[in-house]
Amino acid sequence: MARKIESPCIGVCRLEGELCVGCGRNMEEISRWGAMKHPERKATRERAAKRLEKRAR
């Protein structure tokens, strides 16, 4: 059985434009997190991580 995918939230909940500066998710991803199934959560975490990486450059 696949392990639970934890939320990428780090408690720094501040939006700049469309994205949270703490976790890299957009508002839709944040609001839908609880209803997402494992594959969607995994993809969301990966997209969010890429956004944060791009932002750090």
Domain-embedded: residue 31: yes
Per-residue pLDDT tens digits for 7-55: 999 999 999 999 999 999 999 999 999 999 999 999 999 999 999 999 8
Domain-embedded: residue 14: no
**CB-based burial label for 56 (10 Å; 0-12, 13-18, 19+):** exposed
**What are residue 26's DSSP bridge partners?**
19
Position 56 confidence tier, pLDDT thresholds 50, 70, 90: confident
Whether the model pTM is above 0.85:
yes
Structure tokens at 33: 């997190």
Q: What pLDDT score does 1 carry?
A: 56
**CB-based burial label for 20 (10 Å; 0-12, 13-18, 19+):** buried
Domain-embedded: residue 52: yes
Please write down the long-range contacts of 20-23, taking CB distance under 8 Å and 24 or more positions apart: 21/55, 23/48, 23/52
Domain, as residue range, for 40: 19-56
